Amino acid sequence: MKFKLALVAGLLSGMAVTAVQAQADNSINVGIVTFLSGPAASPFGVPARNAAELLISEFNAGTAPAPYNNKGFGGSPLKMTLIDEAGNSTAVVTEFRNLVQRDKVDLIVGYISSGNCLAITPVAEELKTVTFLFDCGTPRIFEDGKKDFVFRAVNHATADSVGAARYLKAQKPTIKNFGGINQNYAWGQDSWNDFSAAMKVLYPSIQITTSQMPKLFAGQYSAEISALMASKSEVVHTSFWGGDMEAFILQSSPRGLYKNSDVVLVAGETAMFRLADRIPDGTIIGARGPYGVLAPDTPLNRWFQEKFTARYNVPPNYTAYQMANSLLAAKLGYEKAMAANGGKKPTSDQIAAATRGIEYEGFGGKHKFSLGNGHQAVSETAYGRAKKVDGKMTLVDVVRFPAEQVMPPNGVKSADWIAGGMKTK
Amino acid sequence: MIDQIMMVLVDGINYSAWLFLAAVGLTLIYGVMKIVNVAHGSFYALGAYVAASVMGAWVAYDLPPALSYVALFVSALVAGFIVGPLVERLILRYQYEKDEVVILLITYALFLVLEDVLKLIWGVDPYFIIEPYAYLGNFEIAGMSYPNYYLLMLGLAIAVGIVLTFVLKKTNFGRLLVSVIHDREISAAMGIDVSKIFVLTFGVGCALAGIAGAFTAPTTSVTPGMGVEVIVLSFAVVVTGGLGSLPGVALAAIIMGIVRAFCIHYIPQLELFVIFSVMALVLAFRPRGLFSLAEARKI
């Protein structure tokens, strides 16, 4: 009798193990790539990783709000493989290949650096791996040729620059001159080129006073601040981010740069709370889209804000939104492909086909994959001015610009669209 | 026009003072120990992080702001003088017989390890200690407002230069150092405790890097990786001045600071490579730098 009981118990436990294994085999391996070390980790990489961890655990528990409340992706649990983006492009490409060929990930969400996005895109296409670029800004990804497996669920950098210029036009119809300070690499140069071109369209007789391009991570900007102040620019544009932006604020604020110039911090949202007492009222702040404090007040956004703040004791910044939005888009695309495949695990081709052109409601409002043959999403963007209320940083005079005012139409390159007058269809 | 020249000079001298403070420890260590200490940037970052922690407590306990500068100085000095000699005793002293390139690679490895140690202790979030920077107020020159803190940095750089020169030229320890700089073996044969000189020199060099980091911290965001840029710039200054030369570092820092400020005001497109252009130009005509130390010919 005891033997029989033991046999039955053994069989049952064996079946349970098999069931668990079957479930494990059914899991979806999601590669997450973000900066976990280096200067970009704190402002961007770690908040993005936190957002990924939160979303994946909520998806697996089936506790995310509708329409994202299916467990995992279509009932299959998610497994996260986390990789540090730090390193040169060669190392980043090697890690990408490792994720696909060694770790057998089903899809990848990642990449902050535009250089890394440009480096891994052809590899993602070669390996036929569905990849969502979550933060990098370069418009070149989808403007330099058709992509089949690479997607971006948020606006590219053109929206930030054109949005800043449109905000100035809405706030100050007449501006005679402007200057800028931007990091001397792809992001800084592209931001400045787009912003100055958009300003010339909106203010045809405007003059550029000075364009400062210090080295990335230079940290010391005293001379550049002197040059900006001496130029008597009405507007100072900067796409600085992370430690460089914080150093710039710390060094420029006591010198009075903000008294005579409207300073535009394109990526200012990541520092606006921790440097609240150093950012003068009136500073123009962006969040690279309708994210963070600029996110629309929707039930989805409130849920994300509450969950993130409860888990990490800080509100989500814009990179957390970008990561979370990318995961939402990935979930919708995957589940659509799964449904079309009769509930079975879809192939990369099927996921890509299902994701192409979809529209999704994200934590930062509505987004639609309408550019780049349905691979590049667009959304509204927003800017506001800093104002401390009872010692707490807030944004006032917030202006929202619909996607068609800040992103080019499908098939038109950003530079051509800006030079052509940023016409909306 | 006069205003513009004044601005270039003020900006240039301000940057020169920072460059000198950042680089002087590197040249001292090379001069005595013939080690290109790549971990120099980590000691700079260590000084900044220790200063951030000390100033955090200083502000929290509402201690007198005027004394915070002493706290910055002492905290960085102590941190550099504890960790530096530890590294020398535990790791570097076993490597002196090896090729200079091998020691350089070891200090590079040390740099990577120390960067991770800093992250383990202080995390990846930035620290801000604006209080010492804001407390001193501003001065006006050429119609421009500058924080008085930059004058403090200039004064500190001058004081460090004078003290080091005095120690090297006028004290017994300085004479022993000069002897070791010129010939390690003969110095040992004459009874100088070279090992002791090495550990003290490495400690002083690391403490100087820490002081530079501590006094830079109030002007910037103290974040992981902040030491990387410092290594590159310090190396450029030290090579231009002549490896191991104190007056060389001072002159190179002044030239580079002023040329850089001139470019920022008049030709900002050149800023990215102006410091390295100065270095290349100097090395083209003086391959051993502006003030290379004379080497005794050995028979």
Residue pLDDT, tens place only, A157-182: 999 999 999 999 999 999 999 999 99
Q: If DSSP codes are grouped into helix, strand and coil, which group holds residue B130? A: coil
Cβ atoms of residues A308 and A315 within 8 Å: yes
Cβ atoms of residues B159 and B171 within 8 Å: no
Tens-place pLDDT, residues A326-371: 999 999 999 999 999 999 999 999 999 999 999 999 999 999 999 9
Q: What is the largest CA-CA distance in chain B?
A: 64
Q: What is the pLDDT of residue B294?
A: 61
CATH for A158-293+381-419 is 3.40.50.2300
pLDDT at B12 over 90: yes
Rounded Cα gap, residues A254 and B138, in angstroms: 8
Helices then strands, counting H and E runs in chain A, come out as 15, 15
A227 to B268: CB separation less than 8 angstroms, yes or no: yes
Which range is least confidently modeled, A206-210, B50-54, B98-102?
B98-102
Q: What is the pLDDT of residue A106?
A: 97
Q: What is the ipTM of this complex?
A: 0.90
Write the CA distances from A168 to A192, A396, B181, integer angstroms.
15, 14, 61
Cβ atoms of residues B226 and B119 within 8 Å: no
Domain ranges, ordered by start, for chain A: 9-157+296-378, 158-293+381-419
B264 to A213: CB separation less than 8 angstroms, yes or no: no
Q: What is the pLDDT of residue B96?
A: 87
Q: A72: closest CA among A55, A80, A60, A64? A: A60
Q: What is the pLDDT of residue A87?
A: 86
Handedness of CA B271, B274, B276, B277 (dihedral sign): positive
Rounded Cα gap, residues B263 and B265, in angstroms: 5
What percent of the residues of chain B are helix, what percent strand, and what percent coil, each to the nearest 5?
75, 5, 20
Q: What is the pLDDT of residue B142?
A: 84
Residue of A nearest to B261 (CA): A223
Cβ atoms of residues A325 and A287 within 8 Å: no
Residue of B nearest to A257 (CA): B145
pLDDT at B11 over 80: yes
Interface of A with B (CB under 8 A): 36-39, 41-43, 46, 184, 210-215, 217-220, 222-224, 226-227, 229-230, 242-243, 246-247, 250-251, 254-256, 274-275, 278
- pLDDT band of residue A25 (cuts 50, 70, 90) is low
pLDDT at A17 over 70: no
- How far does B196 lie from chain A, in Å, by closest CA? 36
Residues 6+ apart with CB under 8 A from A153: A132, A134, A322, A325, A326, A328, A329, A330, A360, A362, A367, A369, A377
Chain A residues lying within 8 Å of B4, measured CB to CB: 230
- How far does A214 lie from chain B, in Å, by closest CA? 6
Chain B residues lying within 8 Å of A223, measured CB to CB: 11-12, 14-15, 260-261, 264-265
pLDDT at A227 over 90: yes
Q: What is the pLDDT of residue A22?
A: 43
Rounded Cα gap, residues B153 and B13, in angstroms: 10
A213 to B272: CB separation less than 8 angstroms, yes or no: yes
pLDDT at A216 over 50: yes
Burial profile A70-80: b = 16 or more Cβ within 10 angstroms, e = fewer: bebbbebbbbb
B224 to A39: CB separation less than 8 angstroms, yes or no: yes
Mean pLDDT (chain B, rounded)? 92
Q: Which of B14, B130, B265 sits opposite A227 (nearest CB)?
A: B265
Q: What is the pLDDT of residue A259?
A: 93
- How far does A151 lie from chain B, in Å, by closest CA? 29
Task: To the nearest 10°, report the CA torsion of B103, B104, B106, B109.
Answer: 180
- How far does B223 lie from chain A, in Å, by closest CA? 6
Q: If DSSP codes are grouped into helix, strand and coil, which group holds residue A381? A: strand
Q: If DSSP codes are grouped into helix, strand and coil, which group holds residue A383? A: strand
Q: Which of A43, A212, A250 sits opposite B268 (nearest CB)?
A: A212
A55 vs A185, higher pLDDT = A55
Rounded Cα gap, residues A177 and B276, in angstroms: 32
A246 to B126: CB separation less than 8 angstroms, yes or no: yes
Residue of B nearest to A218 (CA): B229
- pLDDT band of residue A12 (cuts 50, 70, 90) is very low
Mean pLDDT (chain A, rounded)? 92
- What is the DSSP pairing of strand B144-147 with strand B138-141? antiparallel
CA B255 to chain centre: 16
Rounded Cα gap, residues A267 and A237, in angstroms: 11
Q: For the sheet with A177-181, list strands across it.
A: A207-212, A177-181, A235-238, A262-265, A284-286, A381-389, A392-401
Rounded Cα gap, residues B156 and B158, in angstroms: 5
Q: A355: closest CA among A383, A326, A314, A382? A: A326
Count the neighbouring beta carbons within 10 Å of the beta carbon of residue B93: 13
Tens-place pLDDT, residues B73-119: 999 999 999 999 999 999 999 988 888 899 999 999 999 999 999 98
Tens-place pLDDT, residues A379-407: 999 999 999 998 899 999 999 999 999 99
CA A32-A37-A40 angle, to 5 degrees, is: 85
Write the CA distances from B146 to A132, A319, B97, B136, B275, integer angstroms.
46, 34, 49, 11, 23
Cβ atoms of residues B28 and B20 within 8 Å: no
Q: If DSSP codes are grouped into helix, strand and coil, which group holds residue A133? A: strand
Rounded Cα gap, residues A224 and A188, in angstroms: 15
B219 to A229: CB separation less than 8 angstroms, yes or no: no
Cβ atoms of residues A380 and A365 within 8 Å: yes
CATH T-level topology, domain A9-157+296-378: Rossmann fold (3.40.50)
Tens-place pLDDT, residues B163-202: 999 999 999 999 998 888 888 889 999 999 999 999 999 9
Q: What is the pLDDT of residue A214?
A: 95
- How far does A21 lie from chain B, in Å, by closest CA? 36
Cβ atoms of residues A375 and A356 within 8 Å: yes
User: What global pTM score does this model have?
Assistant: 0.89
Rounded Cα gap, residues B267 and A102, in angstroms: 50
Q: For the sheet with A28-34, list strands across it.
A: A78-84, A28-34, A107-110, A130-133, A150-152, A376-378, A365-371, A359-362
A254 to B264: CB separation less than 8 angstroms, yes or no: no
Chain A residues lying within 8 Å of B44, measured CB to CB: none
Q: A124: closest CA among A148, A160, A88, A158? A: A148
Tens-place pLDDT, residues B113-163: 999 999 899 988 889 998 999 899 999 998 889 999 999 999 999 999 999
A223 to B14: CB separation less than 8 angstroms, yes or no: yes
- pLDDT band of residue B34 (cuts 50, 70, 90) is confident
Chain A residues lying within 8 Å of B260, measured CB to CB: 223
Show the tokens assigned to B252: 């190179």
Fold agreement (A9-157+296-378, A158-293+381-419): yes
CA A124-A319-A311 angle, to 5 degrees, is: 115
